[in-house]
Amino acid sequence: MENINKDALVDAISSKVEVSKKEIGAIIEAMTDKITEELRKGNKVTLTGFGTFKVSNRAARVGRNPQTGASINIPAMTVPKFTAGKALKEAVK
């Protein structure tokens, strides 16, 4: 199993669609920036067949330090979530 980073993704897309690596890199950067911007606003971003990016709120809770066993307070926070779409789930099976 191989991990793919942004550079490898740019290379793969560039060779598949015959667009320059610089343009593909700019497109990926613009896409991630826009998804981030929409999530900051609390909006949901759906890429049909791929999945949905959304924001989830986590409540404050008490956790434990695994080394000492001491209780620690974990504050409430907003976190991004991704839910895979049906087509992506089927492709991975």
Q: What is the pLDDT of residue 1?
A: 74
The ranges of the chain with pLDDT < 50 are: none
Domain boundaries defined on the chain:
1-41, 44-93
CATH fold for the domain made of 44-93: HU Protein; Chain A (4.10.520)
User: Residue 9 and residue 32: Cα distance in Å, rounded?
Assistant: 14
Q: What is the pLDDT of residue 78?
A: 94
Q: What is the pLDDT of residue 91?
A: 94
**21-40 helix and 6-17 helix, angle to the nearest 10 degrees:** 120
Q: What is the pLDDT of residue 2?
A: 85
